[in-house]
Amino acid sequence: MRKAFTLIELMISVMLLSILMLFLYKSYADLNRSNKQYSVALDQLNKRELIKKTLYLDLLMASKKYVIIQHTQREYDFISFKTKHSLHRRIEPFVTYLVKDHFLYRLESLYQITSININSEITFDVEKLQRVKKFKLFGTRDHKREFYLLHMKLKDNEDILLKVKVLN
């Protein structure tokens, strides 16, 4: 009766183990690659949802008296209003949305910005939100039931439509 493995048996087992490890490594590399792709897609989705939430809360808590909507270009509107929603801990700030070089910006200030030519004395905080192809806001004429319809088209041709009833 023999008590040890032969050299050929050891070489065959090492070869089978190396083939198994090669397939395991390839599947592990594929798993890492797909996880990175899902992570990027999830980050983009979270960013879009945060932008939608910010726009919705800004318009929901807007004051009817201070709304300025200027149709500056065919695809973009300039919007300025007073709201109770603040990202920078201001009390009832003025929020302005404008598009510059196809990027949507959100400006938050204590004073209302009335045009694209911003006065240098006004201090504000700015967020660069998203690359957009279209940014339009439509309001109702009935002041008893104030609604806004926001149409935004993103760089990847995704349309975002928000219908917001103003609380104030």
The tens place of each residue's pLDDT in the chain, 168 residues long, gives 677 888 898 899 999 999 999 999 999 999 999 999 999 999 988 988 999 999 999 988 888 888 888 887 888 989 999 999 999 988 999 999 999 888 999 999 998 888 888 877 888 888 998 899 999 998 887 666 778 899 999 888 788 898 888 886
Which single residue is written with the structure tokens 């990202």?
A: 87
The token pair that represents 114 in the structure block: 């009335």
* Number of domains forming the structure of the chain: 1
Q: What is the span of the domain harbouring residue 71?
A: 1-168
pTM, whole model, 2 decimals? 0.76
Beta-strand ranges (E) seen in 35-123 are 68-70, 78-82, 94-100, 103-109
